[in-house]
Amino acid sequence: MKRQICLLILLVFIAVFGCSENSDKGEAKSKTGLAAVAKTYGDALVDGSIGDASNLIPILATDSSSHSVASWIYNGLLKYDKNLKLVGDLAENYSVSEDKKVITFNLKKGIKWHDGAPFTSEDVKFTYELIVDDKTPTAYDSDFRIVDHIETPDNYTVKVFYKQAYAPALASWTTSILPSHLLKGVEVTKSPLQRKPVGTGPYKFLEWKPGNSITLVANEEYFEGRPNIERYVYRIIPDSATMFLELLNGTIDMMGLSPLQFAKQTDNPRFNAKFNKYKYLSNSYTYVGYNLKNPLFKDKRVRQALTYATPKDDIIEGVLFGLGQKATGPYKPTSPWYNPNVKKYEYNIEKAKSLLAEAGFKDTDNDGILEKDGLKLKFTIITNQGNSSRSMVAEILQNSWSKIGAKVDIRILEWATFINEYIDKRDFDAVILGWSIPLEPDLYDIWHSSKCEGKNLNFICYQNSEVDKLIEEGRVEFDFEKRKAIYNKIQEILAEEQPYTFLYVGESLIALSNRFENVEPAPAGLMHNFIKWYVKKENRKYIFTQ
Partner 1 sequence: MLIYLIKRLIGMIPLIIGITFISFIVIHLAPGDPTQFLSSMNPKVSETARDKFIKMYNLDKPVHVQYLLWLKKFVKFDFGESFSQDRKKVIDKVLERLPVTLWLNIASLALVFIIALPLGVLSAYMKDSVFDKALTIFVFVGFAIPTFWLALLCMYYFGVILGILPISGLTSYNFAELTFFGKIADIVKHAFLPVALSVFGSLAGLSRFSRNSMLDVLNEDYILAARARGIPENKIIFKHALKNALLPVVTILGLSIPGLIGGSVIFESIFSIPGMGQLFYQSVMMRDYPVIMGILVIGAFLTLLGNLLADIMYAAVDPRIRYRKKS
Span near partner 1 by CB under 8 A; candidates 94-102, 148-156, 408-416, 470-478: 408-416
Figure out which of the listed residues 147, 169, 177, 237 binds partner 1, where binding follows CB under 8 A: 237
- 76 within 8 A of 133, measured Cβ to Cβ: no
Residues in contact with partner 1, shown as a per-residue x/- string from 417 to 436 under the rule CB under 8 A: x-xxx---------------
Q: Where are the beta strands (DSSP E) in 61-176?
A: 78-80, 86-88, 91-96, 102-107, 147-154, 157-162
| 478/179 Cα distance (integer angstroms) | 30
Residues in contact with partner 1, shown as a per-residue x/- string from 367 to 406 under the rule CB under 8 A: ----------------------------------------
DSSP letters spanning 282-344: -SEEEEEEE-TTSGGGSSHHHHHHHHHT--HHHHHHHHHTT-EEE--SSS-TTSTT--TTS--
Rounded to the nearest whole angstrom, what is the least distance from the CB of residue 444 to partner 1 in the complex?
8
| 141/63 Cα distance (integer angstroms) | 16
| 482/74 Cα distance (integer angstroms) | 33
Span near partner 1 by CB under 8 A; candidates 130-138, 217-225, 340-348, 473-481: 130-138
Rounded to the nearest whole angstrom, what is the least distance from the CB of residue 510 to partner 1 in the complex?
20
Residues in contact with partner 1, shown as a per-residue x/- string from 438 to 477 under the rule CB under 8 A: x------xx--------xxx--------------------
Rounded to the nearest whole angstrom, what is the least distance from the CB of residue 455 to partner 1 in the complex?
7
* Three state DSSP letters for 211-268: CCEEEEEECCCCCCCCCCEEEEEEEECCCHHHHHHHHHHCCCCEEECCHHHHHHHCCC
Closest CA to 330 of 460, 447, 423: 447
Rounded to the nearest whole angstrom, what is the least distance from the CB of residue 336 to partner 1 in the complex?
19
Binding of partner 1 by 213 (CB under 8 A): yes
Rounded to the nearest whole angstrom, what is the least distance from the CB of residue 58 to partner 1 in the complex?
10
| 73/352 Cα distance (integer angstroms) | 53
Figure out which of the listed residues 21, 24, 27, 63 binds partner 1, where binding follows CB under 8 A: 63
Figure out which of the listed residues 116, 185, 211, 374 binds partner 1, where binding follows CB under 8 A: 211
Residues in contact with partner 1, shown as a per-residue x/- string from 173 to 192 under the rule CB under 8 A: ----------------x---
In terms of CB distance, is 405 or 499 closer to partner 1?
499
In terms of CB distance, is 367 or 427 closer to partner 1?
427
- 147 within 8 A of 163, measured Cβ to Cβ: yes
In terms of CB distance, is 345 or 447 closer to partner 1?
447
Span near partner 1 by CB under 8 A; candidates 135-143, 198-206, 300-308, 531-539: 135-143
DSSP 412: E
Sign of CA dihedral 447, 433, 510, 272: positive
CA 147 from centre of chain: 25
| Side-chain half-sphere exposure of 172, counting CA atoms within 13 A | 20
Rounded to the nearest whole angstrom, what is the least distance from the CB of residue 425 to partner 1 in the complex?
11
Binding of partner 1 by 242 (CB under 8 A): yes
CA 480 from centre of chain: 21
Figure out which of the listed residues 51, 311, 521, 525 binds partner 1, where binding follows CB under 8 A: 51
Give the 3-state secondary structure of residue 77. coil
Binding of partner 1 by 241 (CB under 8 A): yes
Binding of partner 1 by 246 (CB under 8 A): yes
In terms of CB distance, is 385 or 518 closer to partner 1?
385
Figure out which of the listed residues 29, 109, 209, 344 binds partner 1, where binding follows CB under 8 A: 209
Task: Please return the burial class of 393, using the count of CB atoms within 10 Å of its CB with bins 0-12, 13-18 and 19+.
Answer: buried
Interface residue list for partner 1 (CB under 8 A): 46, 51-52, 54-55, 60-63, 66, 134, 137-142, 145, 189, 194-195, 209-213, 233, 235-239, 241-242, 245-246, 248-249, 251, 414-417, 419-421, 438, 445-446, 455-457, 542, 545
